[in-house]
């Protein structure tokens, strides 16, 4: 049985000559194996049809804006443009230096992952890189830093950070980020105009342990439904473990050991 | 265009890799884009002589990160126990490398021990194949696996 990874290399022609020859012979003589190869070739075509290069191109066009330097369009035709690579690299380096200096000055402990660019104009990069920030933040509180929740709305090729009471619509795709200044327990949830509570980060109804010092992006987005009036996103934190009873949320608000940060989006255009 | 050529040839492979790890079509499609964006960002500093290895390993690493993040945030993860264990393993090598942000951006990234564990334990590559895949010696691969293995009691270096 040829393992998947080897079959993939066979299809792309990346195996050493001897192995290519061996598998080619097997394809010619083994009907079952030949059927497997045929199915994968058909699957290749279907995948490229489903997700053509043009879709990636759209994101490539938007990519320079990740670095916040107005280079939009510099890489619009994909790779192979040495100038745009250089600019992008330079911009990245500059943004990193700026970010590192800013972080060093203001938080001393906040860790900036390579592509988050400090100010994080585009969160889809952070979705990947937040996980790569170094661990190991200690138990001490980061002076001058408060727990923070950020709400971002995906746009066609980028994302914008939403401020409190900004307008949002049904179908908007929301990404949440948070930062805490010390080791603590926390949970993220939202409540809409129908009074429905949606948990975004918790262990069932219990707060989970959070690490301080890095802006963390939840690894999934949240699409707003047709609930009217508002959607409020809450970050609750405490140095002690706590839980939520969705039938009695007031109890959580009254808990003096628990801090809360929130961002409310006003729903418009809905029912 | 180099990237378009790479995409046309390798995107299906990358998609299948991502889908096999994430078990979700939309997430896998999103991850394919992330993988190629990563390559694009570093294209002039990457060794593209073995694009299949580069793309396969990049997809593996990003998917492991995604699985680990979801698990950390209490999201149900549709993964085998072995995959989840590898994804959530404390990889000191990776953590160390992550601290060197500029070096990570502009030079070749050594593969993480978690990726090496995926190739060997999940993909079933031999130590020799794994070593070739990540440009390490067999003893180097063995050493990295042992380092990780200390934290993964249920895995054994074959």
Is B136 near chain A, with CB under 8 Å? no
Is residue A260 one of the residues assigned to a domain? yes
Q: Chain A contacts of B20, Cβ < 8 Å?
A: 4
The DSSP element (H or E) to which B20 belongs, if any, is helix B2-22
Tell me the mean pLDDT in the region B1-19.
Answer: 91
Tell me the mean pLDDT in the region A244-263.
Answer: 87
| CATH number where A249 lies | 2.60.40
Q: Which domain holds residue A172?
A: 135-267
Percent of chain A residues topping a pLDDT of 70: 68
pTM of the shown model: 0.50
Is residue A15 one of the residues assigned to a domain? yes
Is residue A105 one of the residues assigned to a domain? no
Task: Yes or no: say if A114 and B104 are a contact pair by the CB < 8 Å rule.
Answer: yes
Is residue A160 one of the residues assigned to a domain? yes
The pLDDT score that the predictor gives to residue A143 is 52
The pLDDT score that the predictor gives to residue A6 is 92
Cα separations in angstroms, A240 against A137, A184, A258? 18, 7, 8
Encoded tokens for A174: 């929301």
Q: Tell me the three-class secondary structure of A153-212, residue by residue.
A: EECCCCEEEECCCEEECCCCEEEEEEECCCCEEEEEEEEECCCCEEEEECECCECEEECC
Q: How many CB atoms lie within 10 A of CB A170?
A: 15
Q: What is the ipTM of this complex?
A: 0.79
Cα separations in angstroms, A164 against A14, A176, A232, A265, B94? 52, 13, 9, 6, 37
Nearby residues of A172 by Cβ (< 8 Å), 6 or more positions away: A153, A154, A223, A224
Q: What is the number of helices (H) and of strands (E) in chain A?
A: 7, 11
Identity of the residue in A53, A202, A204 whose CB atom sits nearest the CB atom of B8: A53
E strands, chain A, in order: 148-154, 159-162, 166-168, 173-179, 184-192, 197-201, 208-210, 216-217, 222-223, 230-238, 259-267
Q: Is the pLDDT score of B109 beyond 80?
A: no
Which of A166, A181, A269 has the alpha carbon at shortest distance from A226? A269
Q: Chain B contacts of A47, Cβ < 8 Å?
A: 11-12, 15-16
Nearby residues of A171 by Cβ (< 8 Å), 6 or more positions away: A223, A224
Encoded tokens for A21: 């020859």
Q: Which residue of A has its CA nearest to B74?
A: A203
Q: Is the pLDDT score of B96 beyond 60?
A: no
Nearby residues of A11 by Cβ (< 8 Å), 6 or more positions away: A37, A40, A41, A44, B13
How many domains in chain A? 2
Is residue A144 one of the residues assigned to a domain? yes
The pLDDT score that the predictor gives to residue A9 is 93
The pLDDT score that the predictor gives to residue A80 is 38
Name beta bridge partners: A197.
A191
Do residues A157 and A259 both lie within one domain?
yes
Q: Is the pLDDT score of B76 beyond 80?
A: no
Encoded tokens for A93: 């380096």
Mean pLDDT of all residues in chain A? 72
Fold of B2-149: Butyryl-CoA Dehydrogenase, subunit A; domain 3 (1.20.140)
The pLDDT score that the predictor gives to residue B103 is 39
Q: Is the pLDDT score of B92 beyond 70?
A: no
C-beta atoms of A44 and B12 within 8 A: yes
The pLDDT score that the predictor gives to residue A98 is 44
Is residue A84 one of the residues assigned to a domain? no
Q: Which residue of B has its CA nearest to A87?
A: B41
User: Using CB atoms within 10 A of its CB, is residue A4 exposed (0-12), middle (13-18) or buried (19+)?
Assistant: middle
Q: Chain A contacts of B105, Cβ < 8 Å?
A: 92-93, 96, 114
Q: Chain A contacts of B9, Cβ < 8 Å?
A: 12
Is residue A149 one of the residues assigned to a domain? yes
């Amino acid at each position: 049985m040829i393992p998947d990874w080897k079959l993939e290399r066979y299809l792309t022609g990346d195996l050493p000559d001897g192995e290519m020859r061996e598998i080619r012979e097997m394809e010619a003589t083994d009907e079952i194996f030949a059927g497997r190869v045929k199915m994968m070739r058909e699957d290749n075509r279907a995948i490229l049809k489903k997700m053509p290069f043009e879709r990636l191109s759209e994101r490539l066009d938007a990519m320079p804006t990740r670095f916040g330097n107005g280079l939009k369009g510099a890489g619009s035709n994909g790779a192979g443009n040495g100038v745009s690579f250089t600019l992008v690299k330079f911009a990245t380096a500059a943004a990193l230096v700026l970010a590192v200096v800013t972080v060093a000055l203001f938080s001393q402990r906040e860790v900036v992952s390579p592509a988050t660019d400090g100010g994080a104009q585009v969160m889809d990069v952070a979705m990947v890189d937040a996980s790569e920030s170094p661990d190991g933040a200690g138990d001490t509180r980061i002076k001058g830093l408060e727990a923070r929740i950020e709400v971002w709305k995906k746009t066609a090729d980028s994302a914008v950070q939403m401020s409190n009471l900004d307008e949002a619509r049904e179908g908007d795709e929301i990404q949440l980020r948070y930062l805490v200044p010390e080791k603590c327990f926390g949970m993220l949830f939202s409540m809409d105009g129908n009074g429905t509570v949606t948990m975004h980060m918790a262990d069932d109804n219990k707060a989970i342990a959070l690490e301080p010092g890095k802006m963390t992006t939840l690894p999934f987005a949240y699409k707003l439904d047709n609930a009217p009036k508002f959607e409020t996103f809450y970050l609750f934190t405490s140095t002690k473990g706590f839980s939520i009873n969705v039938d009695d949320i007031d109890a959580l608000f009254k808990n003096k050991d628990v801090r809360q940060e929130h961002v409310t989006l006003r729903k418009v255009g809905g029912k | 265009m180099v990237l378009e050529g790479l995409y046309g040839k390798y995107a299906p492979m990358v998609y299948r890799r991502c889908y096999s790890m994430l078990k979700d079509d939309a997430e896998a499609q999103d991850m394919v884009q992330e993988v190629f964006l990563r390559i694009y960002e570093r294209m002039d500093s990457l060794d593209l002589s073995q694009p299949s290895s580069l793309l396969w390993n990049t997809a593996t690493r990003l998917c492991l990160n995604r699985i680990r993040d979801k698990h950390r945030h209490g999201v149900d993860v549709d993964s085998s126990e072995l995959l989840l264990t590898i994804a959530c393993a404390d990889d000191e090598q990776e953590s160390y490398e992550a601290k060197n942000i500029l070096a990570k951006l502009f030079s070749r990234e050594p593969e993480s021990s978690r990726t090496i564990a995926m190739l060997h334990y999940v993909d079933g590559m031999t130590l020799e194949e794994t070593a070739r895949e990540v440009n390490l010696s067999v003893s180097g691969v063995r050493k990295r696996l042992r380092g990780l293995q200390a934290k993964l009691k249920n895995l054994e270096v074959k």
